[in-house]
Amino acid sequence: MLTKDEMDRVFAALSHSSRRDMLDLVRDKPGLSVGELASNFDVTRIAVMNHLKVLEEARLIVSERDGRSRRLYLNAVPIQAIYERWTDKFSAHWLDRMSLIKSAAEAAGKDTERTDE
Amino acid sequence: MLTKDEMDRVFAALSHSSRRDMLDLVRDKPGLSVGELASNFDVTRIAVMNHLKVLEEARLIVSERDGRSRRLYLNAVPIQAIYERWTDKFSAHWLDRMSLIKSAAEAAGKDTERTDE
DNA sequence: TTAACATGTAATTACATTATTACCTATAGA
DNA sequence: TCTATAGGTAATAATGTAATTACATGTTAA
């Protein structure tokens, strides 16, 4: 279980699409270096490092030094915690109420580009 | 499945802790009015409405008019989509690599205050 | 119709995040 | 050593988000 503060950091980290992309890349190439990671983005290496810092402070990415480079890895623990938050706290209720919610959505005409997804 | 743009809106909406709290409240009292929701927060009603707008644009909350008030409901669909993203795209890999990731984290000494060696 | 109420919009200000340039540190290998 | 390389830090500019006050719209009930 994460503290409220850790939860804040994880959600803040996930709120930027480049950072979500970074998680995808590190997942696909565990042990990727900072430079290799940065080469996948249009922004500067420094911008990527700033994002990396946010991800590391949220503990979504962990790293180990390897000579003059640094190897990056995904850390699943915070994601597991979020998964548990949603499933335990939300989904258990939400699933029970799915039909109510869906009908409410349709009645409100807010969900109308596609009435069925 | 959500578009990249819809995904952006959902993560952005979830990034603010007041908005996550609002989801909890609406889940617990489906059909809650805007004013009732606002009474749970220290900020102004307008600030709450701004948050509400973000949540509605992310389709995490839907609403129906009821006379001069508005009833709010949770919409589980975007959460389901995220859940599927993480589980299909991330967790399947992450779970396979848990031990690798954990040992990497410990080697880097980034994941715990305790240096267990 | 009118008063009170519930909600909504606009414009502004304060604050936080993102991306940049310039500079600094540490390592591998000729 | 010296130099190219990989990474890291600091300060700042540009952009985006959050919260506010003031005003506007629409609904109920007397």
Instruction: Kindly report the three-state secondary structure assignment for every residue of B66-110.
Output: ECCEEEEEECCHHHHHHHHHHHHHHHHHHHHCHHHHHHHHHHHCC
Give a yes or no: residue A48 inside a domain: yes
Give a yes or no: residue B114 inside a domain: no
Give a yes or no: residue B116 inside a domain: no
Written as six digits, the tokens of B13 are 């909406």
Written as six digits, the tokens of B15 are 């990034």
Question: Is the same domain home to A43 and A83?
Answer: no
Question: Is the same domain home to B16 and B68?
Answer: yes
Q: What angle in degrees, to the nearest 10, is found between the helix axes of B4-14 and B77-84?
A: 100
Question: Is the same domain home to B58 and B45?
Answer: yes
Give a yes or no: residue A10 inside a domain: yes
Question: Is the same domain home to B46 and B103?
Answer: no
**Chain A to chain B Cβ contacts (< 8 Å):** 132
Written as six digits, the tokens of A65 are 């030094």
- CA contacts within 13 A on the Cβ side of A104: 25
Chain C footprint bases within 7 A of protein beta carbons: 5-10, 17-22, 26-28
Residue scoring higher pLDDT (B27 or A101): B27
Question: Is the same domain home to B14 and B68?
Answer: yes
Question: Is the same domain home to A33 and A90?
Answer: no
Nearest CA in chain A to B63: A108
Q: What is the mean pLDDT of residues A53-82?
A: 91
Question: Is the same domain home to A33 and A11?
Answer: yes
Q: Specify the DSSP class assigned to residue A62.
A: E
Nearest CA in chain A to B70: A108
Question: Is the same domain home to A44 and A84?
Answer: no
Q: Do B74 and A56 touch (CB under 8 A)?
A: no
Residue B78: per-residue pLDDT: 83
Question: Is the same domain home to A25 and A58?
Answer: yes
Give a yes or no: residue A84 inside a domain: yes
Q: Which residues touch strand C (CB under 7 A)?
A: A 12, 15-16, 18, 43-44, 46-47, 50-51, 54, 67-68; B 33-36, 38, 45-46, 49, 52-53, 63, 68-70
Question: Is the same domain home to B16 and B48?
Answer: yes
Give a yes or no: residue B113 inside a domain: no
Question: Is the same domain home to B16 and B34?
Answer: yes
Q: Are B93 and B99 in contact (CB under 8 A)?
A: no
Question: Is the same domain home to B16 and B35?
Answer: yes
A85 touches strand D (CB under 7 A): no
> What CATH number does the domain containing A72 carry?
1.10.10.10
Q: Do A91 and B111 touch (CB under 8 A)?
A: no
Residue A30: per-residue pLDDT: 93
In the chain, the amino acid numbered A72 is L
Specify the number of domains making up chain A: 2
In the chain, the amino acid numbered A31 is G
Nearest CA in chain A to B98: A76
How confident is the prediction along chain B (117 residues), in pLDDT tens digits per residue?
788 889 999 999 999 999 999 998 998 899 999 999 999 999 999 999 999 999 999 999 999 999 999 999 998 888 777 766 655 555 554 444 443 444 344 433 333 333 332
- Domain limits at B12? 4-77
* Closest nucleotide to A19 by C1' from CA: C18
Note the ipTM here: 0.78
Q: Specify the DSSP class assigned to residue A16.
A: S
Residue A25: per-residue pLDDT: 93
β-bridge pairing B69-74 and A32-33: unpaired
Cα–Cα dist A68/A40, whole Å: 20
Cα–Cα dist A103/A109, whole Å: 10
